[in-house]
Amino acid sequence: MAETSASPTLLLKDELDIVIPTIRNLDFLEMWRPFFQPYHLIIVQDGDPSKIIKVPGGFDYELYNRNDITRILGPKASCISFKDSACRCFGYLVSKKKYIFTIDDDCFVAKDPSGKEINALQQHIKNLLAPSTPFFFNTLYDPYREGTDFVRGYPFSLREGVPTAVSHGLWLNIPDYDAPTQLVKPLEKNTRFVDAVMTIPKGTLFPMCGMNLAFNRELIGPAMYFGLMGDGQPIGRYDDMWAGWCTKVICDHMGWGVKTGLPYIWHSKASNPFVNLKKEYKGIYWQEELIPFFQSAILPKDCTTVQKCYIELSKQVRAKLGKVDEYFIKLADAMVTWVEAWDELNQTGKSSEVPNGAAK
């Protein structure tokens, strides 16, 4: 794909929000300042709403705490997790932009093998602006990157590609391992930089991590619900996984692409594996039933919008996963509440965005 005269990043300066969930602090922004400062930030403050989170000067932002979430959503706030990074999806709800990039507050600027700092946001933008190839795998990976192309035998009828809905980035240093793996390999670090972006083939699920993720909000936003986790819930650290499985099934149905690979960020803090085990353990055996459910999920032809797909999926969750645990009945209801909240905030054009400060 030919580079435009203006850098892709500047092309999306007013079309992309950066969503950050935090229960700690935002000091990490200093390192990202050269790349993030031109963009609007949506900070979702988790935990105690009376705690003051300091936003480094010079950033254009809006900040929402639990009181804001309750004020804006009323009873629908029940679908937004508390005391879990899943709260970040509130930022997707209130954004008015076409694209979202979400990043954790313990993720820093990584360096490529040449020692050059990686502008992760720019790479996500390139990924989202270039088509995807879910229907036929290109063995030289992303055919739209400079210096590569489709290989011999690749059908010309498929070379236009399809719109890209999701760009899933990776992590150097602390990999996003589950608790058991973290426990048996406490010192393992990811030092492998793989210079590749690839489309995840249609019909294939993947473990979507929310710490370095971008997506086209206008395409897949209504399905990017980070499921009910944290306080009062029997499970944690499956919020992003849930969103990844739902969005991949819907992207496959709608004919959109999901990419994974570049960009890398430097993940600095390993969360406590024992705490993580308590959060994850039910998910570790439940997912042996969840994956076959998503692999066999079929969306009817009359599901022509993401909202319709998502509601249909919630009905199938209730019917088929409600038997696994009653939690999935609650989750199916929360999925419906999420779509209702999405449509309420995004059809009336109600803007809750205020420059540089707390929400209205």
Ligand X SMILES: O=c1ccn([C@@H]2O[C@H](COP(=O)(O)OP(=O)(O)O[C@H]3O[C@@H](CO)[C@H](O)[C@H]3O)[C@@H](O)[C@H]2O)c(=O)[nH]1
**Closer residue to Mn ion (CB): 104 or 312:** 104
**Closer residue to Mn ion (CB): 43 or 254:** 43
- Residue 9 interacts, among Mn ion, ligand X, none and using kind-specific CB cut-offs from 5 to 8 Å, with none
Chain contacts with ligand X (rule: CB under 6 A): 21-24, 46, 83-85, 87, 104-106, 176, 209-211, 230, 237, 239-240, 269, 271
**Least Å from the CB of residue 114 to ligand X:** 26
- Residue 84 interacts, among Mn ion, ligand X, none and using kind-specific CB cut-offs from 5 to 8 Å, with ligand X
What is the rounded CA–CA span in Å between residue 63 and residue 358?
5
The encoded tokens of residue 14 equal 């007013």
DSSP H helices, 195-326, are 217-220, 239-254, 273-296, 306-316
- Residue 62 interacts, among ligand X, Mn ion, none and using kind-specific CB cut-offs from 5 to 8 Å, with none
What is the rounded CA–CA span in Å between residue 237 and residue 301?
32
DSSP three-state, residue 334: helix
User: Under a CB-based contact definition with an 8 Å cutoff, are residues 20 and 43 in contact?
Assistant: yes
**Closer residue to ligand X (CB): 141 or 226:** 226
- Residue 280 interacts, among Mn ion, ligand X, none and using kind-specific CB cut-offs from 5 to 8 Å, with none
Closest C-alpha among 110, 312, 98, 322 to residue 215: 98
Chain position carrying tokens 């969840």: 290
- Residue 46 interacts, among Mn ion, ligand X, none and using kind-specific CB cut-offs from 5 to 8 Å, with ligand X
Closest C-alpha among 212, 215, 187, 207 to residue 266: 212
**Closer residue to ligand X (CB): 15 or 106:** 106
Identify the residue among 31, 71, 106, 352 touching Mn ion (CB under 5 A). Answer: 106
Closest C-alpha among 76, 100, 105, 68 to residue 268: 105
**Least Å from the CB of residue 25 to ligand X:** 8
Q: List contacts with Mn ion (CB under 5 A).
A: 104, 106, 269
